[in-house]
């Protein structure tokens, strides 16, 4: 199986994890193993690496890509949102570093045949984990116009979301919408003569919004962030690469909350909780890819990298 992905901010991310030999590191979004390979190289010869992905293709690719690291590596097909449970099942309660590189791999977009892109005409599936329901086709053919509009507006920041949803509902009355190109044509027609941002296909935001809804991407991140600090040993690090502004906002707020000493409600005139910061912000300002990387890999342009270190006595 061909598996292509171009890793974003490879060295910046793995440097921030500060991998050491003998440490335990988790990549919750293995994808094409770009970050994973470098982490494994750095923790040799005595560390442990756990690679998680919900997509069977990523796990199958990782079996070959990470084979040179032998027993160092454990692969798990699962959801990073359930990381605590997945790790405890293999007897791990604390780790030195966790990486999440959110979103979609190039393989999923262009080679998986699951309708993530309108460049190929494929079944409207969009599931990263094909054991789960719904598919994008289920949403597009079953949700009400109001529900579809809310997905397009909230996850895709799509303007004229109601018109697009209305056209979809009208089109599916004639025949079910089953392929990516069919959906792209309906969205393009719905947005008709409206002004378009240069270079952006009119269906881009609708496709992104559907993918986020199908895979519960924001819910998974929120759930993970609730328990993430408990997984790290003191001094352990968490690095998150986000591509969507909603995801980056969630990461930024959570990291800020952990780094803030006082956890009292803002309406209290003074602190009564006596709280201490639980983490050190390793990226007080978000890190973005440099010009050279964007030239070589334009898809990396919206990447935002944030990292924290758990404070020793938190
Ligand atoms: C951008 S790719 C990661 C690329 C990888 N860092 C590399 O260098 O090749 C994102 C991967 O995360 C996986 N993924 C997304 N959400 C997930 C979740 N909730 N649990 C597990 N894997 C997830 C996707 O299936 C995809 O393979």
Could you report the per-residue pLDDT of 8-56, keeping only the tens digit for each? 999 999 999 999 999 999 999 999 999 999 999 999 999 999 999 999 9
Q: Using a 6 Å cutoff on CB, does residue 205 contact ligand 1?
A: no
CA of 79 to the centre of ligand 1 (A): 10
Q: Answer yes or no: is pLDDT of 195 > 60.
A: no
Q: Using a 6 Å cutoff on CB, does residue 55 contact ligand 1?
A: yes
- In what helix (H) or strand (E) does residue 304 lie, and over which residues does it extend? strand 304-310
**Higher-pLDDT residue of 5, 179:** 179
Sequence-distant (6+) residues with CB within 8 A of 53 are 29, 30, 31, 59, 62, 77
Instruction: Give the residue whose CA is nearest to atom 9 of ligand 1.
Output: 32
CA of 73 to the centre of ligand 1 (A): 17
Q: Are 51 and 30 in contact (CB under 8 A)?
A: yes
Q: What does the alpha-carbon distance between residue 170 and residue 156 come to, in Å, rounded to a whole number?
A: 21
Q: Give the model confidence (pLDDT) of 121-141 as tens digits.
A: 999 999 999 999 999 999 999
Instruction: Give the residue whose CA is nearest to atom 19 of ligand 1.
Output: 79
Query: What integer pLDDT is reported at residue 270 of this predicted model?
Result: 85
Closest CA to 275 of 291, 257, 288, 249: 257
- How does the average pLDDT of the chain come out, rounded? 94
CA of 220 to the centre of ligand 1 (A): 12
CA 115 and chain centroid, separation: 18
CA of 110 to the centre of ligand 1 (A): 15
Query: What integer pLDDT is reported at residue 262 of this predicted model?
Result: 83
Tracing tokens 């006082």 back to the chain, one arrives at 262
Instruction: Give the residue whose CA is nearest to atom 25 of ligand 1.
Output: 55
Given strand 304-310, what is the order of strands in its sheet?
A: 73-77, 48-53, 24-27, 95-101, 232-242, 304-310, 279-281
Atom of ligand 1 nearest to the CA of 107: 27
Pairing mode of beta strands 304-310, 232-242: antiparallel
Q: Using a 6 Å cutoff on CB, does residue 58 contact ligand 1?
A: yes
**Domain positions in the chain:** 10-107+217-310, 130-214
Looking at domain 10-107+217-310, which of 1.10.150.530, 3.40.50.2300, 3.30.390.10, 3.40.50.150 is its CATH number?
Answer: 3.40.50.150
Query: What integer pLDDT is reported at residue 274 of this predicted model?
Result: 83
Query: What integer pLDDT is reported at residue 314 of this predicted model?
Result: 53
Q: Using a 6 Å cutoff on CB, does residue 303 contact ligand 1?
A: no
CA of 105 to the centre of ligand 1 (A): 7
Q: Using a 6 Å cutoff on CB, does residue 53 contact ligand 1?
A: yes
Instruction: Average the pLDDT over 287-296 and give the result.
Output: 96
Q: Using a 6 Å cutoff on CB, does residue 220 contact ligand 1?
A: yes
Cβ atoms within 10 Å, residue 228 = 22
Instruction: Give the residue whose CA is nearest to atom 12 of ligand 1.
Output: 29
Q: Using a 6 Å cutoff on CB, does residue 103 contact ligand 1?
A: yes
DSSP H helices in 75-144: 83-89, 106-110, 136-142
CA 310 and chain centroid, separation: 22
Looking at domain 130-214, which of 1.10.240.10, 1.10.150.170, 1.10.30.50, 1.10.3720.10 is its CATH number?
Answer: 1.10.150.170
Q: What does the alpha-carbon distance between residue 172 and residue 6 come to, in Å, rounded to a whole number?
A: 36
């Amino acid at each position: 199986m061909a598996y292509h992905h171009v890793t974003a901010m490879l060295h910046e991310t793995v440097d921030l994890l500060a991998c050491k030999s003998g440490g335990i590191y988790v990549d919750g979004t293995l994808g094409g193993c770009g970050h994973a390979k470098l982490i494994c190289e750095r923790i040799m010869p005595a560390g442990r690496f756990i690679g998680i992905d919900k997509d069977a293709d990523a796990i199958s690719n990782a079996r070959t890509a990470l084979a040179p690291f032998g027993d160092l590596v454990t692969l798990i097909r699962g959801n990073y949102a359930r990381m605590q449970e997945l790790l405890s099942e293999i007897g791990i309660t604390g780790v030195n570093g966790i990486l999440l590189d959110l979103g979609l791999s190039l393989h999923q977009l262009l080679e998986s045949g699951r309708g993530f892109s309108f460049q190929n005409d494929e079944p409207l599936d969009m599931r990263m984990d094909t054991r789960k329901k719904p598919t994008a086709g289920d949403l597009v053919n079953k949700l009400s116009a109001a529900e579809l509009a809310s997905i397009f507006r909230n996850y895709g920041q799509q303007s004229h979301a109601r018109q697009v949803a209305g056209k979809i509902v009208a089109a599916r009355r004639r025949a079910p919408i089953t392929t990516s190109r069919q959906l792209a044509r309906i969205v393009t027609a719905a947005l008709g003569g409206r002004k378009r941002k240069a270079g952006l296909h009119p269906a881009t935001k609708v496709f992104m919004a559907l993918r986020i809804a199908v895979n519960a991407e924001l819910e998974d991140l929120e759930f993970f962030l609730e328990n993430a600090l408990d997984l790290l040993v003191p001094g352990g690090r968490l690095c998150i690469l986000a591509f969507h502004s909603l995801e980056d906002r969630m990461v930024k707020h959570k990291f800020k909350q952990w780094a803030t000493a006082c956890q009292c409600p803002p309406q209290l005139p003074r602190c009564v909780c006596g709280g201490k910061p639980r983490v050190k912000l390793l990226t007080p300002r978000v890190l973005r890819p440099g010009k050279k990387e964007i030239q070589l890999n334009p898809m990396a342009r919206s990447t935002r990298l944030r990292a924290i270190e758990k404070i020793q006595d938190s």
